[in-house]
Amino acid sequence: MIYSRFSNIFTTFSILLLLSCCDNRDSSMSTKIDYIKTIGDTNAILALKMLDSLDTNIRKQSEDVIKKYDMARLRVQDKAYIAATSDIVAKQLVTYYENNGSNLEKQEAYFYAGSVYRDLQDTPRSLEFYFKASEVAENGNRFDSLMLKNTYSNLHYLFYNVQDYPKAYEYAMKEYSLSRKIGKTELTCLTHLGMSLMALDSIERAKDIFAFALDTISSNQRLKEDTEVLCSLLFNFSYLKDSAHAARCISFLEQLNIDEGNAAMNYAFGEYYRMIGKRDSAIIEFNRILQNKSDLLRMYDASKTLLQIYDDGGDLVEANKLAKLFVSLTDSIDLGKRQELAATVKNEFQYHRDQQHEQRLISEKQQFQSWLISAIIAIIIILFSAIAVVLYRRNIYLNKLLSISNELSKQTATKDQLQAKIYEKEKELSESKILLDKKENDLKSVRIQLSDLNEELKKYSEDLKKKERLLSERMAQNQTFINLLHQSELERKAEDVIYAIRQSSEGKKDMTSADWKQLYNAIDELYPTFKDLLLKELGTFTEQQMQVCYLMRIGLSKPQIQNMTNLSRVTIWRWVKKYDWIQKIDLPTGKSVSPK
């Protein structure tokens, strides 16, 4: 009781939570329905409750959303094994999606319409819609492969129930092949294939498939989910008198707590007891099916089997009762009529498909004829265009030939004139050659004279170089002499200054500002125009530049100037090079030399 209450609370909470998640993801009703459909694939009961919670507002939505809701309800009810009681909604969905739906929506509408008529025991119409669902999927670019597999499964089930075993085997094989392609080879595919082979008397192949299915169940160890398959395997192994595999099925089923009112289990256990000779136990199991009255087809099979048991045992009273019940059940399910209608539907559908195929061939033929006519017209147009192009190019070529012919005639007329001119030019050329020979002789004599002149120029050049060397040596001597003269004149006029300069140039004493002033005055007295020359050539200059210029004027060397000014060697070298015109003031020409 406590567990049941807790389960209800948990379910309600799950519904609210899932719906709130839907709201958070997308507020549209269509998105909610899609989400509920995904829930229905794993928990159909919860999905039904979620759909019920939307029922109050769904009729206010658009027609497309309403149809989507109705389709989701049919889908979830089918997954929850809730049998349909009316085909009204299924008809409406088929009509709507035939006119407005995509290929996937048409496939789904046909499939669940077939499921509705299957639940209503209307085999012909169920077959009709399953055929349409398979046709839409097989001919469409987009389809639900898992739904197509389930379509094949239902077609096998319907044909097997009306005892059309070749067709049942055909769709069982299609189901098995598609299952392997999509990676969902379920146990039901194997049992369908084995049952079809068994009905077609391919006993050994059927046994192998049933044994493989049982080994799969043993390795998976999901007995509760595989209960229905185990019951089917138990019946088939018992019917085939394979006691070893049947005993394995019994050992698995005994581990489960299965309701005694389960018709599939009762039928399987009854056949097992019949195989091992437990007649009374078998009768009890078959009678439970008749008493339960939940599965008309199982009741038909159970009454038929009990009739055989009582007839084999010589119990004519019970056999007569079962015979009457068997006849009554035969009339109820109207098996012969079902077989006839199923065959009719199959033939009609095949005729419909043949007509479609024929119409498609006619359409393809017409398309081919249209294409052929278009191709012929295109070829004719291309051919005439090519002829026109050839004629046009031919006319152009002829015009070119005519113009060339005219040009040749003109050239022929002027040929004689050209030959006469050529003769005159050849004569002029011969005369020019004679003159050229004379010019070449004159040129040779000129070349000889030129070579003699070159020899004389070489001699003069060598003499000039010698004189330049002598001149540079004398200029250096003059510069040295001038420096010595400057120093000697400065020594005569300012002995104190000279002493300070010598001490400072040797690094023994630093020049004071008074020393520098005495030096400037002494040089200005000796060379009155030097300061004016500096102002004219340099404009503005620093105290250090002035010191360097005055020291250069009296002929000190660069190391001596560096010792006296304490400037860097690079600066002294750069300034001495820049002001080298100072050292050339008293050249032998007697003129001052400026840096310009």
Query: For 489-547, what is each residue's pLDDT tens digit?
Result: 555 556 667 777 777 777 677 888 888 988 889 888 888 888 888 888 877 878 888 88
DSSP secondary structure, 174-188, as one string? HHHHHHHHHT---HH
Residue 108 lies in a domain: no
Grade residue 555 by pLDDT with cuts at 50, 70 and 90: confident
Number of domains in the chain: 1
Q: In angstroms, how far is the first alpha carbon of the chain from the final one?
A: 123
Distance CA 158, CA 395 (A): 80
Residues 213 and 191 sit within 8 Å (Cβ to Cβ): yes
Residue 546 forms part of a structural domain? yes
Q: Residue 249 corresponds to which amino acid? A: C
153 in a structural domain: no
**Residue 310 CA: distances (Å) to CA of 40, 53, 325:** 46, 54, 13
For the entire predicted model, the pTM comes to: 0.52
CA-nearest of 361, 371, 300, 358 to 329 is 300
From the list 36, 113, 103, the residue with the least C-alpha distance to 74 is 113
The range of the structural domain enclosing residue 480 comes to 470-584
CA-to-CA distance for 298 and 301, rounded, in angstroms? Answer: 5
Angle, helices 88-100 vs 63-79, to 10°: value is 130
SS3 assignment, position 527: coil
566 within some domain: yes
What is the Rg, in whole angstroms, of the alpha carbon atoms belonging to the chain? 62
pLDDT category at 470 given cuts 50, 70, 90 is: low
Tell me: pLDDT of 27 over 60.
Answer: no
Among the listed residues 70, 130, 77, the one whose alpha carbon sits nearest the alpha carbon of residue 101: 70
**Would you say residue 180 lies in a domain?**
no
Q: Is residue 136 part of a domain?
A: no
H-helix or E-strand spanning residue 586? none
The span from the CA of 187 to the CA of 194, in Å, is: 11
Given this model, what pLDDT does residue 354 score?
A: 56
Whether 305 is in a domain gets the answer no
The verdict on residue 408 lying in a domain is no
pLDDT at 583 over 70: no
